[in-house]
Structure 1
Amino acid sequence: MHAHTVRLWWLALAAALIPLVTIHLTFLVSVLEGHVPLCVPYWDSCTSISRTGRHGTAYFIFKGTMLPAAVLGMLFWLLNGFWLRHLGVGPRARIWVPLLGVTSCMALGIYTLALGHEGEGFNLLRRIGVVVYLSFTFLCELLVSGALIQHPRWQRQGQRMLMLSELVLLVGIASVILNGVSPELYQRTDDAFEWVFALLINLHALWIAWLWRESGFRGRLWAG
């Protein structure tokens, strides 16, 4: 048996890019087919991410890409545990990142399957799915950032990534405060918060992909 190694950063890149590209593609398709208005959802708050994938061609694009993305995301977070072990940092993060990451991607899969179906049960699954996916993904990225601060080479990158995670947290806190202070204004802007939150967590995942590349993170394959 001969061992061969392959660089894994491309997997992390795909795990970060597929969800990000999908929501923008389904938004564009939904606009062209007349299901959502033409706007800039990041500040116009004209449509939710869910609404872009509920009707027409976008429905099939969303399900056809997000379900594989959920599976790829599970692998991404599992490998992050091995990556942190490879770097020799984050003993607790090595345990929690795979557990939380796999759970978050399972929630993404449930959310995707429930999307486009009517009924209180499906609505509940969608709400639980999106909350668990976004919150647990944020926790994973926070843990990875904190672990990297312990590494002499990646300490500065870890600090910057932690700042990005803090920005994600501020967006979440701002939405909660706005909902408590002015529910009517929150209802008019909550979709924009969702878009910004999703963008930031995927940018963080792209950052991790770049660090995988720079650190030379590899997987080992065996061939006869």
Structure 2
Amino acid sequence: MKKITIAIDGFSSCGKSTMAKDLAREVGYIYIDSGAMYRAVTLYSIENGIFDRDVIDTERLKKEIKDIHISFRLNKETGRPDTYLNGVNVENKIRSMEVSSKVSPISTLDFVREAMVAQQQTMGNEKGIVMDGRDIGTTVFPDAELKIFVTATPEIRAQRRYDELKAKGQEASFDEILENVKQRDYIDQNREVSPLRKAEDALLLDNTDLSIEEQKKWLFEQFNKVSK
């Protein structure tokens, strides 16, 4: 089988990362979570006083973006990659509601997207990767051999996010999460730089009523069609 690039785009909390991680592990590809990269930049901005309350010091972030290095390392216990920010494991920190509520404004900044896309394209030079995010099939890898666009109702996505946080022992409010999901949808679709949209040649997957196993089966079938 030839090695290909797989781009999985879609709305927040659609299960894109779970799908992408499982497929990458199944076929022996490298998984890259582009959303985690923007979350890591957001975490850096919060922890370093760049994103204070609702104000972003864009000039300072522009100067420091070159010093923000994000990488992924396999967690032997979970069998999945963890996100590292400048050499520190931040996988759990970047999934907090504080980061979730602030990641969209950070990801709309053109210089942040430019820096992250450059890192992502470098990671994907050798093919044999699965990357998920908002603009992978449209901006990062427009020539990807397999593109998937994932959607589901806001309520279903909020419930999944709520269940995920509760399982980790974190406090969570369903109403707050649902509002955050809707706000992120609006920002993602209406930002000036690389707005969230389905690439013309992407396959649409509405997983509102699908189990994880049904999704995995469907995705693996699409992979087999393209990689032969």
TM-score with structure 2 length normalisation? 0.28
TM-score with structure 1 length normalisation? 0.28
Q: Which has the higher helix share?
A: 1
Q: In terms of Rg, which structure is larger?
A: 1
Q: Which has the higher strand share?
A: 2
